[in-house]
A and B are shown apart, each in its own frame.
Chain A
Amino acid sequence: MIDSSLDNFNTEPMEKPASPARQTWKMFSSNQSAVAGLILLAIVLIFSLVGPLVYQVAPTEMVWMPLTPPLESEYLLGTDYLGRDILAGLINGGRITIAIGASAALLTIVIGVTIGALAGYYGGWVDNLLMRVTEFFQVLPNLLLAMVVVMLFSATLTNIAIAIGIVSWTSTARLTRAEFLRLRSMDYVRAERSIGAKNRRIIWAVILPNAAPPLIVSAALSIGTAILFEAGLAFLGLSDPNNMSWGRMIGDNRPYILDSWWGVTFPGIAIFLTVLAISLVGDGLNDALNPKLRKR
């Protein structure tokens, strides 16, 4: 609020001052690759959320001759080694992949922001302790740790999402901590403190909204990371046996790549496009929310 009011002085008197959200959208929509990413993301979402209603083929059932190449049957993208429809797998797997990605990213952000905020705001021994914990998680290869957790606690959708969240929060925590360190000595924070505001209020209602822009970007990007992570776990055989997912399709079909390139290629492209769309949107958000920090 404080900084945007300054900009408003420069706008023509006849024009209504644009709201921050509108300004962000204006910047975002003038960025070609960000818009392309947004459109791509919309297509992916429609494909995997509306697709199952339109294209009702069970992804886990044998529907045709195994290893039928694309365009040689009514199953356009062909079938895998068990005669399962690849297209149905893509459509249904998308839902699972995106759901796990989004919930794992949410958990990542909640843990990361909480730890980073407390460390950055309180400093001292709290900071010391929390940064040690962060360092600890950075030393462990996150995929291996997630593998251990999922294997020991069984591969359900919830456990997979939780495992990804638990191992992925460190960079968010560091980012949040840096923002809090920067903001905690700002005048308006001092002012709040001088009128006796509680720490809890200062952290969540005063500093956090001001730290939001980079955190929003980080949240957007961590969905992409979580999707890649889920795919990796599924590829290694750690996926919910009752649900199809893109990573699982690649893992299942990998032993048959000599007979069917399509079984691994299409789900990979799906993951690639989805994560690419999210990265483009994230980069666009970054430029739109932090215009001054724009990269060269």
Chain B
Amino acid sequence: MVKSLSKRIGNAVILLLAVLVLNFTLIHIAPGDPVEVLAGEMGGATPELLAELRADFGLDQPFHVQLFTYLGNVLQGNLGYSFYYDKPVTELIFDRIGATLLLVITALLFALFVGTALGIASAQKRNSLLSNVVTLLSLAGFSAPVFWIGIMLILLLSVALPIFPIAGMATADEPEGNFAYILDVVWHLVLPALTLASIYLAFYSRLSRASMLEVLESDYIRTARAKGLSRFLVVYKHALRNAVLPVVTFAGLQFAQVISGAVLVETVFAWPGLGTLAFESILRRDSPTLLGILFFSAVLVLVVNIVVDIAYRIIDPRISAK
């Protein structure tokens, strides 16, 4: 366990270095002067600043020296400077990452739990209304753009029926009483999280349904029934634990996609996370920020993958043995 974990961490570090090399290469092969790319067109960088940057990056140096300078900078926590915000990129990212994590984790857990519950319920009765609804929902979830689902939810549940707030993470003039504030954030979170979850909800329900149907046919389920266990124990103890394994695997594999979805959903709901930051940095052509977000997302994905890996090992004892 420890051994394979350290192997995974080593692997993650290599992948992250590769992301940095990719970032660096992109800056250099993009049309235009790398320094201008780094400063951003709308950054309002003065010529002096550009000159300073040029010196910082040693642009007169050979390519590989520049690369090592860049890597060295990143290792010291310097992902670049956003001239638009007039702040280091790392600082910008740390300001926003909390909001993104809140959204992404809420949505993912919601999709996982509700999706799995729906899938398992519909696996019990194969051609029931529920299982048809799940199939329909999953077609819709696969086919509609997530940002459009978000807008439609706003039109329905914020405009036509003003139940939820249209945008943001908290009402601005809310008195910052602790509990009231939390409630306010939760209230703002409902629609974005639901939107982001909608894609995966259908996917997980389909996946867990298929997986559950397969598991229910297996020999050990027959054994469990032959022992005289109740239907509840057979399904929710013996079958469930095996049936969630592929769901857990996919939750890890898909995390990068969930972040992509979060970029769109945050933009729709003006949720103040990394996604809106990415959207804004496109508007402002703020490349250092966008590249920094790309790198940080990779860090997030790798961390989540390691967590999922540990979870999988806890659920399935066979893996640790290998």
Counting CB contacts under 8 A, is A94 at the interface?
no
Counting CB contacts under 8 A, is B147 at the interface?
yes
Residue from the set A151, A153, A271, A272 with the largest chain B CB neighbour count within 10 Å: A151
Q: Is A296's CB under 8 angstroms from B155's CB? A: no
User: In the complex the two chains form, what is the Cα distance from A238 to B278 in whole Å?
Assistant: 12
Beyond A148-B294, A152-B27, A272-B148, whether A235 also contacts B259 by CB under 8 A is no
**Other-chain contact of B145, A145, A235, A258 (Cβ < 8 Å):** A235
Q: Is A271's CB under 8 angstroms from B148's CB? A: yes
SS class, residues of chain B in contact with chain A: helix
Point out the residues of chain A lying under 8 angstroms from B140, CB to CB.
Answer: 272, 276
User: In the complex the two chains form, what is the Cα distance from A224 to B282 in whole Å?
Assistant: 25
Counting CB contacts under 8 A, is A25 at the interface?
no
Q: Is A296's CB under 8 angstroms from B142's CB? A: no
Counting CB contacts under 8 A, is B302 at the interface?
yes
Counting CB contacts under 8 A, is B114 at the interface?
no
Complex interface residues of chain A between 136 and 155 (CB less than 8 A to chain B)? 136, 138-145, 147-149, 151-154
Counting CB contacts under 8 A, is B260 at the interface?
yes
**A-facing mask of B257-283, CB < 8 A → 1, else 0?**
101110110011000000000110011
B interface residues, how many (CB within 8 angstroms): 51
User: In the complex the two chains form, what is the Cα distance from A111 to B289 in whole Å?
Assistant: 29
Residue of B nearest to A267 (CB): B148
Q: Is A257's CB under 8 angstroms from B155's CB? A: yes
Residue of B nearest to A135 (CB): B15
Counting CB contacts under 8 A, is B152 at the interface?
yes
Q: Is B151's CB under 8 angstroms from A141's CB? A: no
Counting CB contacts under 8 A, is B188 at the interface?
no
Beyond A151-B282, A228-B145, A238-B282, whether A257 also contacts B26 by CB under 8 A is no
Point out the residues of chain B lying under 8 angstroms from A238, CB to CB.
Answer: 282
CB distance from B276 to the nearest CB of A (A): 10
Q: Is A143's CB under 8 angstroms from B260's CB? A: yes
Residue of A nearest to B149 (CB): A268
CB distance from B34 to the nearest CB of A (A): 10
**Other-chain contact of A139, B31, B139, B301 (Cβ < 8 Å):** B301
Counting CB contacts under 8 A, is A8 at the interface?
no
Counting CB contacts under 8 A, is A250 at the interface?
yes
Q: Is B282's CB under 8 angstroms from A147's CB? A: yes
CB distance from B284 to the nearest CB of A (A): 10
Q: Is A152's CB under 8 angstroms from B287's CB? A: yes
Q: Is B290's CB under 8 angstroms from A147's CB? A: yes
Q: Is B139's CB under 8 angstroms from A237's CB? A: no
**A-facing mask of B287-311, CB < 8 A → 1, else 0?**
1001101100110011001000000
Point out the residues of chain A lying under 8 angstroms from B282, CB to CB.
Answer: 147, 151, 236-238
Counting CB contacts under 8 A, is A184 at the interface?
no
CB distance from A198 to the nearest CB of B (A): 33
Q: Is B26's CB under 8 angstroms from A140's CB? A: no
**Other-chain contact of A153, B18, B31, B144 (Cβ < 8 Å):** B31
**B-facing mask of A87-129, CB < 8 A → 1, else 0?**
0000000000000000000000000000000000000000000
Point out the residues of chain B lying under 8 angstroms from A139, CB to CB.
Answer: 15, 19, 256, 298, 301-302, 305
Complex interface residues of chain A between 149 and 183 (CB less than 8 A to chain B)? 149, 151-154
Beyond A272-B148, A279-B139, whether A148 also contacts B290 by CB under 8 A is yes
Beyond A144-B260, A144-B263, A261-B155, whether A235 also contacts B287 by CB under 8 A is no
User: In the complex the two chains form, what is the Cα distance from A232 to B260 in whole Å?
Assistant: 10
Beyond A152-B27, A275-B142, whether A145 also contacts B147 by CB under 8 A is no
Q: Is B30's CB under 8 angstroms from A153's CB? A: yes
User: In the complex the two chains form, what is the Cα distance from A275 to B142 in whole Å?
Assistant: 8
Counting CB contacts under 8 A, is A247 at the interface?
yes
Point out the residues of chain B lying under 8 angstroms from A138, CB to CB.
Answer: 253, 256
**Other-chain contact of B30, A152, A236, A254, A258 (Cβ < 8 Å):** A152
**Other-chain contact of A141, B26, B144, B263 (Cβ < 8 Å):** B263
Q: Is A271's CB under 8 angstroms from B15's CB? A: no
CB distance from A130 to the nearest CB of B (A): 14
User: In the complex the two chains form, what is the Cα distance from A152 to B32 in whole Å?
Assistant: 9
User: In the complex the two chains form, what is the Cα distance from A180 to B120 in whole Å?
Assistant: 33
Point out the residues of chain B lying under 8 angstroms from A140, CB to CB.
Answer: 19, 256, 294, 297-298, 301
Residue of A nearest to B16 (CB): A139
Q: Is A250's CB under 8 angstroms from B30's CB? A: no
Complex interface residues of chain A between 242 and 287 (CB less than 8 A to chain B)? 247, 250, 254, 257-258, 261, 264-265, 268, 271-272, 275-276, 279-280
Residue of A nearest to B166 (CB): A258
User: In the complex the two chains form, what is the Cα distance from A145 to B23 in whole Å?
Assistant: 10
Q: Is A264's CB under 8 angstroms from B287's CB? A: no
Point out the residues of chain B lying under 8 angstroms from A271, CB to CB.
Answer: 144-145, 148
For the complex of A and B, list the 6 residue pairs with the smallest distance between their C-beta atoms, beginning with the closest.
A143-B260, A268-B148, A152-B30, A276-B143, A141-B259, A275-B143
Q: What are 27 sample pairs from A and B whose C-beta atoms fall under 8 A apart?
A: A139-B298, A141-B257, A141-B260, A141-B294, A141-B298, A142-B256, A144-B293, A148-B23, A151-B282, A151-B287, A152-B26, A152-B27, A153-B31, A154-B31, A224-B142, A236-B264, A236-B279, A250-B145, A254-B151, A257-B159, A261-B159, A264-B151, A264-B155, A265-B155, A268-B144, A268-B148, A268-B151
Beyond known contacts A140-B19, A145-B294, A232-B147: 10 more, CB 8 A cutoff: A135-B15, A136-B18, A142-B256, A147-B290, A152-B287, A153-B30, A235-B147, A237-B282, A257-B151, A264-B151
